[in-house]
Chains A and B, each alone.
Chain A
Amino acid sequence: MTDFAALIRRLSDARIEFILIGGVAATVHGSVRLTRDVDVVYARHPDNIRRICDALGAVHPYLRGASKGLPFHLDVPTMITGLNFTLVTDEGDLDLLGEMTGGGTYEQLLPGAVRVELYGRPCYCLSVDQLIAAKRAAGRPRDIDALAELEVIRDRQTASDSGAD
């Protein structure tokens, strides 16, 4: 089972440049939907990749759903060669995305992201508008329900900001 606090603290304490996306980001904004993993978009520069490998080494990252015994190691060459990694770790499921469908890279997403404090750590998280745009761009039928909820949240936040009930 994913330990959200442990994974987020681990990424933040290692000074990894990442933006929370997906279900955890939606929860930050008020979603009540259940999610089982932590999804992040990470910066692809070498220092950040090295920090990711160092931080996750202790929790034994492995490709989620892959057969046991494959010669997979989350190291710098592997991360430079690949882009998106769906991982299982000792602290739970973690998706590391170098690029997000409908959103882009860390650098493209950062200007619109919001800064929040989670478990005492500062983190960046996609805004509600970014989450909605990404889900619309992905166009997956399974996202429709989540998309509807996000739009309801956005409407309620807008109403709250404008002082309406």
Chain B
Amino acid sequence: MTARSPGCTLNETVPPTSNRSSLDDVIDAYKSGIDVTLIDENLRRSVDERLRYLQRLLEFAEELRRAGRELATKR
């Protein structure tokens, strides 16, 4: 005979208490790091303005990347 803890059997399944998955907990952890002021600022823009802002952001990123490459070749 095998001793078992009361109320615990090998085939026992824990009934789900919610539909949340571990992914939800990970996403929630990431949410705490999001700067919502940037999102709110963007939500105040029109859709066209949001895309124009994205274009400017991309141009800025490309310029930084170009400068980085230039710096690397000078080293």
Contacts and interface: CB of A to CB of B under 8 A. Distances in A.
B58 A34 contact: yes
User: Interface residue tally of chain B, by bracket?
Assistant: 20 to 34
Given A148-B27, A149-B34, A156 B40 contact: yes
A116 B47 contact: yes
Nearest to B59: A1
Contact of A145 (B30, B58, B59, B61): B30
A152 B55 contact: no
Contacts of A160: 43
A160 B55 CA distance: 27
A116 B39 CA distance: 19
Contacts of B27: 144, 147-148, 151
Nearest to A160: B43
A30 B54 contact: no
Contact of B50 (A2, A27, A36, A148): A27
Nearest to B36: A152
B75 interface: no
A101 interface: no
Q: What interface size band does chain A fall in? A: 20 to 34
A59 interface: no
Interface string B11-27: 00000000000010011
B30 A30 contact: no
B20 to A, nearest CB: 13
Contacts of A24: 51, 54
Interface in A145-165: 145, 147-149, 151-153, 156-157, 160
A2 B58 contact: yes
Interface of A: 1-5, 24, 27-28, 30-32, 34-36, 116-119, 136, 139, 144-145, 147-149, 151-153, 156-157, 160
15 contacts: A5-B51, A27-B54, A30-B43, A32-B38, A32-B42, A34-B58, A36-B58, A116-B47, A144-B26, A147-B27, A148-B30, A152-B34, A152-B39, A153-B43, A156-B40
Among all A-B residue pairs, the 5 with the closest Cβ atoms: A148-B30, A30-B43, A32-B38, A148-B31, A30-B42
